[in-house]
Structure 1
Amino acid sequence: MLKQRVITALILAAILLASLSSEANWPFSALTLVFISAAGWEWSRLNEAPGVRAWLTGAAVAGGCVYAAQVVGLPVWAQAVVDSGLNVHPHVHGLGLPLAGFHVATGVWAFATLVWVLGGAAVLRYGSTHWRQVPEFWRRLLGLALLVMAWLALVEIKAQGLNFLLSVLCLVWAADIGAYFGGKAFGRRKLAPSISPGKSWEGVWSGMVAVCVLAALWIWADANLGVDSPSLYSRLWMGLGPLGMLLALAFLVAVSVVGDLFESLVKRQAGVKDSSQLLPGHGGVLDRIDALLPTLPLTLAVLTLCHA
């Protein structure tokens, strides 16, 4: 199993690095579009809609992503122009307008925040008893919306520069690693035993500490090393100040946990351990991106609060 996991991880890393090394946007956009469509296929199967309906859901996710990107004018295929150095654009008030230097209107990310904060709280509170009572069509539609918003956010983040993209991805990975080791060492109080018995409050706090350490190191790197774009942490530091940055990071860690728990609940309701076996040794695509689904769009929502 370990050998299989390592081989799969190396192959995925090689493909991802190849797409990121291209100056054009289309390799990364196409690669992530394939993965997000596969996640749509998995989501449908987890929600009592296998077979043709699952394939149609995956195709609908791909089509929805491309259409939405065209509507908002995202640089999906062509090369985007990004700032070099640590220039942070001014805040722009207006839900119908994007932040300066971005492409998607801030209202999209405000909507994503409402869906994830209010909907996530409702699902985690009542999902164990009511999730399967929701008609599968509406569950599939919800999955389609969440996946399309996550992909739009990912492409928008990528358009800001490689350093910015990596800083967002590493936030989720650091929170997950910190939570794993912190939970193993200090875990006592269960976070959501009916959904994911292995998660603890101590693990969540450990993940937040890990992200704060990562942020400090990344801000130093931004200031002292040559980077193609400011990281998320530098943007938050300059736009919200130290306390605002810490609160924003705590919020993003919290929503990454919500994403993880949400997928765990759906899998538990479906009676399966993994979303699929598309990634040998790792389970499915949803198993790898569950925490990213809320974190990507809500990262951009947090940035709308920056006044720099």
Structure 2
Amino acid sequence: MLKTRVITAIVLLAVFLPVTFFAPVGAFGALIAFVVVFAAWEWARLLKLGGAGPVVYALVAAAALVASTKLGTGIEAPRPLFQAASVFWVLAGPFVLLRKPTLAQGAWRIFLLVAGLLVFVACWHALVAARMAGVPFVLSLLLVVWLADIGAYFSGKAFGRHKLAPAISPGKTWEGALGGWVAVLVVAIAAVAVHAFEPTLYSALLERHGALRAFIALTVLVVFSVVGDLFESMLKRQAGVKDSSGLLPGHGGVLDRIDALLPVLPLAMLLLG
């Protein structure tokens, strides 16, 4: 399993990094669109659409993404998309995690199928806008989620005692979440202190909001990275599956890799808007 996981990671990085660093923004956008459409397919599967339903949903997501480009892309990305996606995560995310409704039936399934289109389109626009702001910027934005996840893993292993959401994801702890938050702040402070590869998300937040508000903004982003992770974990638990799919050997599915990014991306761009 470890060997498979490592090989898959190497292949993914071999595709993602060259496209991010060297390819035109259009090629980067095409790659992210490809990822988003597969994530939409998995979202529909977790919501238990039968037959060809997930494929149809993925095609609808692709069409919605194409149609949304008429509203603007990149640095002129439509702010209402980020606002609407952020409202979904700020309101629906915590409500679902606290109340634990059945998501794959009735009104909730309809709501999440519609909201999913918004979430995935906003995710695409946010990443394209971040890439247009520069390679260091988009990487620093992704690094918030990666550091929160890595820091949570190692802190949880070392110090984890108090379960964060035992009914949804038994492995997560409050100590782990705190460790992820600290990891993000340490790297952000270091990056700002040495003025490396600016502009980054951290330098942009500092310039726009000052130190205190930038600190609060990064904290909010870390919190919602956890919300996104737990939200997908709940979808999987209710669907009775361990992974969102088997598309990425050793890693599960696309949603398993981007779940924490889904709320963080629109929120980050909104905080900078």
Residue 213 (str. 1) matches residue 186 (str. 2): yes
Deviation at 1:131, TM superposition (A): 2.1
Letter in 1 for 2:17: L
Distance 2:127 2:183 in 1: 23
Distance 1:42 1:105 in 2: 26
Distance 1:146 1:232 in 2: 21
More helix by share: 2
Deviations along 1:155-206, one digit per CA (max 9) or x if unpaired, are 1111111010000000100000111111111112111111111111111111
Distance 1:215 1:294 in 2: 19
SS at match of 1:275: coil
Residue 286 (str. 1) matches residue 258 (str. 2): no
Distance 2:67 2:182 in 1: 39
Letter in 2 for 1:15: V
Deviations along 1:197-238, one digit per CA (max 9) or x if unpaired, are 1111111111110000110122134x2x4x3x5101001112
SS at match of 1:272: coil
Deviations along 1:12-68, one digit per CA (max 9) or x if unpaired, are 111112212335222211111111100111111111114311111111111211211
Distance 1:21 1:122 in 2: 38
Superposition TM-score, scaled by structure 1 size: 0.84
Report what 1:134 is aligned to. Answer: 106
Letter in 1 for 2:243: D
Flag the 1:137–1:114 CA change in 2: closer, same or farther, 3 A.
closer
Report what 1:173 is aligned to. Answer: 146
Deviation at 1:133, TM superposition (A): 3.9
Report what 1:195 is aligned to. Answer: 168
Report what 1:110 is aligned to. Answer: 83
Distance 2:6 2:23 in 1: 28
Deviations along 1:108-163, one digit per CA (max 9) or x if unpaired, are 32222211111111111222x43234343433222222111111111111111101
Off by >6 Å, runs of 4+ in structure 1: none
Residue 249 (str. 1) matches residue 218 (str. 2): yes
Report what 1:93 is aligned to. Answer: none
SS at match of 1:130: coil
SS at match of 2:244: coil
Report what 1:204 is aligned to. Answer: 177
Deviation at 1:105, TM superposition (A): 3.7
Distance 1:241 1:13 in 2: 34
Distance 2:71 2:213 in 1: 32
Distance 2:258 2:11 in 1: 17
Report what 1:39 is aligned to. Answer: 39
Report what 1:264 is aligned to. Answer: 233
Distance 2:214 2:112 in 1: 34
- Say whether the 8 Å CA contact 2:47–2:103 is kept in structure 1: no
Report what 1:48 is aligned to. Answer: 48
1:145 to 106, 112, 118: 118
SS at match of 2:76: coil
Which stretch of the first structure deviates more once superposed, 114-123 or 21-30?
21-30
Superposition TM-score, scaled by structure 2 size: 0.95
Aligned residues: 272
- Say whether the 8 Å CA contact 2:126–2:269 is kept in structure 1: yes
Distance 1:45 1:108 in 2: 24
Which stretch of the first structure deviates more once superposed, 250-259 or 188-197?
188-197
Percent identity over the alignment is 47
Report what 2:130 is aligned to. Answer: 157
- Say whether the 8 Å CA contact 2:71–2:77 is kept in structure 1: no
SS at match of 2:77: coil
Report what 2:28 is aligned to. Answer: 28
Distance 1:10 1:133 in 2: 38
Which stretch of the first structure deviates more once superposed, 131-140 or 280-289?
131-140
- Say whether the 8 Å CA contact 2:47–2:105 is kept in structure 1: no
Distance 1:150 1:292 in 2: 8
Q: Which runs of 5+ in 2 are unaligned?
A: none
